[in-house]
Amino acid sequence: MHGSMLLRFVLITSAIVLQLASSNVIIQKVEEKVENECNLSENLINEIRGYKNVVLKITDQILNGKFKGEVHKSLQTFTDKFGSRMAGSDSLEKSIDYMEALLKNEGLENVHTEEAKVPHWIRGYESATLVLPRKAKIGLLGLGTSVGTPQGGIIADVVAVRTFDELRKLPDSKVKGKIVVFAPEWEGYGATSNYRKSGASEASKKGAIAALIRSATPFSIGSPHTGSQTYDQGVRKIPAACITVEDAEMIWRMYNEGETVQIHLEMDDYNLEQVTSRNTVSELQGSKSPNKSVVILSGHLDSWDVGVGAMDDGGGAFISWKAVKFLKDMGLRPKRTIRSILWTAEEYGYYGAKAYEREHKKNEAEEFNFLIESDTGTFDPVGLAFTGNKEAECIFREILSLMIPLNATQFDTPASAPDLSVWINRGFPGASLLNKNDKYFWFHHTQGDSMLVEDPGSLDRGVALFASTAYIIADLSIDIPKVIKN
């Protein structure tokens, strides 16, 4: 995922899960409180509880039947075939062609793509060498949209800081012409990744000629992490890269010991004109209202250019479309349409989702009933995170309580859904996968984002949770309530 504050909530959830595991008392209290606050009609409650056997059937067929292990196998074939899929790359477009053909072949309905303009950034040769106080290679990855250095690179002294505040307090003369090394402490992804996102701009404002930023992770095996960054309006664009936690900490120490720290940085990275990419759409069309009150299941197909994007977000994309396929194969066609969307260019900032939003704006209130996403890992699922109004929450909690066979009844709020934020932030109700993703940022945007992270059983449970939830919402007698802001 690209997201900013999304994972804060997921981490909080992990804490809650632990708490719950050790105390039934707390579970009961939460449930009582919810029931007291909700005023769902007995009819609706009974209607929802009537789906208990559907959940059992879906769960059984996916966990124990012919679908067992299929998501993992299919995802492995896909990632082995295409590897990384960065926006703007041939690899991504070929993988979209492949998915469109595959979805048709697998019998999904209304399979098509919808266009979106996306960034086209090229990572060239990248190298950083510590020149003083001693020679050493520095592990780095340039950041998406970063400009390059002049050919042959730049050699400059370093100014190392832990925070933006520290940098701002330095006289400009101390930063001018230098390479700023940001070595922020790990304070969660939201806080620490701000240095990746804005480090170059903040350094440039002080006259620096490049920014090297600690990778946004709590744990490292000499592994640099890439990601997106943005130049503020009007600042001189300077090269920006993430370096390993190990190197950031060491350089920070050297600088603070009073050493002259000098780095030779070479980055042949550059930006090209935007290109056209595509969101990939497929459906199980509703028996009663195929074109309105659609339930969306989604993940993004693009990735960074390191690793193979199995975790971010191959797993999320694949449980989304496989849920739709499995429902169809099981003959479970709900009243409303369930639509799988495989977003493009999430990593640069939801380019695919934003284009889709613009195209579908006119009738969006009628078109979208409920939106679901997985983009924070597909480790073992524990439940769903939700955003929506009180009434919607009451209905959602009733549905979630049916996920006992999957051991995935955990509720959290708000949803962590970067692509869907373009709707959810305006009042559309939605949900995201809650999973045991405490190691998510270890692999995030690194060479380590591989199939080794993905477990067949966890993917089966994830897809069963998505299929069950989407089916019930798409089949209910009522839409999920919403109040849309514009």
The two three-digit tokens of residue 83, written as one number: 């590897």
**73 or 176: CB nearest a second copy:** 73
Task: State the Cα–Cα distance between residues 353 and 459, nearest whole angstrom.
Answer: 24
Residues 6 or more apart from 312 whose CB is under 8 A from it? 1, 303, 304, 375, 377, 443, 444, 445, 449
Q: Which stretch binds a second copy (CB under 8 A): 40-48, 245-253, 339-347, 465-473?
A: 245-253
Task: State the Cα–Cα distance between residues 225 and 213, nearest whole angstrom.
Answer: 10
Number of other residues whose CB lies within 10 A of the CB of residue 358: 11
Least separation in angstroms between residue 431's CB and a second copy is 30
Least separation in angstroms between residue 76's CB and a second copy is 7
182 binds a second copy (CB under 8 A): no
Least separation in angstroms between residue 52's CB and a second copy is 39
Among 12, 18, 272, 452, binds a second copy (CB under 8 A): 452
The pattern of x and - marking residues 137 through 176 that bind a second copy according to CB under 8 A reads --x-------------------------------------
**108 or 245: CB nearest a second copy:** 245
Among 93, 246, 268, 391, binds a second copy (CB under 8 A): 246
**80 or 438: CB nearest a second copy:** 80
Nearest to 186 by CA among 162, 150, 211, 155: 162
Task: State the Cα–Cα distance between residues 213 and 181, nearest whole angstrom.
Answer: 6
CA angle 286, 290, 291 (to 5 degrees): 150
Q: Which stretch binds a second copy (CB under 8 A): 157-165, 187-195, 249-257, 275-283?
A: 249-257
For residues 82, 87, 89, 92, the Cα torsion angle rounded to the nearest 10 degrees is: 30
Least separation in angstroms between residue 14's CB and a second copy is 20
455 binds a second copy (CB under 8 A): no
Among 4, 262, 274, 450, binds a second copy (CB under 8 A): 450
60 by DSSP, 3-state: which? Answer: helix
Residues 6 or more apart from 10 whose CB is under 8 A from it? 376, 385, 412, 416, 434, 437, 440
DSSP 158-209: EEEESSHHHHHHS-HHHHTTPEEEE-PPP--HHHHHHHHHHHHHHHHHTT-S
Residues 6 or more apart from 280 whose CB is under 8 A from it? 96, 99, 100, 103, 111, 113, 301, 341, 342, 344
Q: What is the DSSP letter of 144?
A: B
Q: How is the beta sheet containing 294-300 ordered, strand by strand?
A: 109-122, 270-284, 338-343, 294-300, 368-373, 430-435, 381-387, 410-412
Residue 94: which H helix or E strand, with range? helix 90-105
Q: Which residues, numbered 250-269, are part of the site for a second copy (CB under 8 A)?
A: 250, 253-254, 257
466 binds a second copy (CB under 8 A): no
**208 or 301: CB nearest a second copy:** 301
Task: State the Cα–Cα distance between residues 323 and 334, nearest whole angstrom.
Answer: 13
Active-site residue flag, 31 = no
Among 59, 229, 244, 369, binds a second copy (CB under 8 A): 244
- Annotated catalytic residue: which of 202, 266, 346, 393? 346
The pattern of x and - marking residues 65 through 104 that bind a second copy according to CB under 8 A reads -----------x---xxxxx------x-------------
376 by DSSP, 3-state: which? Answer: coil
Least separation in angstroms between residue 128's CB and a second copy is 13
Identity (one letter) of the amino acid at 328? K
**209 or 453: CB nearest a second copy:** 453
Least separation in angstroms between residue 289's CB and a second copy is 42
379 binds a second copy (CB under 8 A): no
Among 448, 455, 456, 481, binds a second copy (CB under 8 A): 448
Q: Which residues, numbered 384-443, are part of the site for a second copy (CB under 8 A)?
A: 442-443
Among 26, 221, 272, 404, binds a second copy (CB under 8 A): 221
Among 74, 220, 228, 432, binds a second copy (CB under 8 A): 220
Q: What is the DSSP letter of 405?
A: G
* Catalytic (active-site) positions: 346
Interaction site with a second copy (CB under 8 A):
76, 80-84, 91, 133-134, 136, 139, 220-223, 244-246, 249-250, 253-254, 257, 306-308, 442-443, 446-452
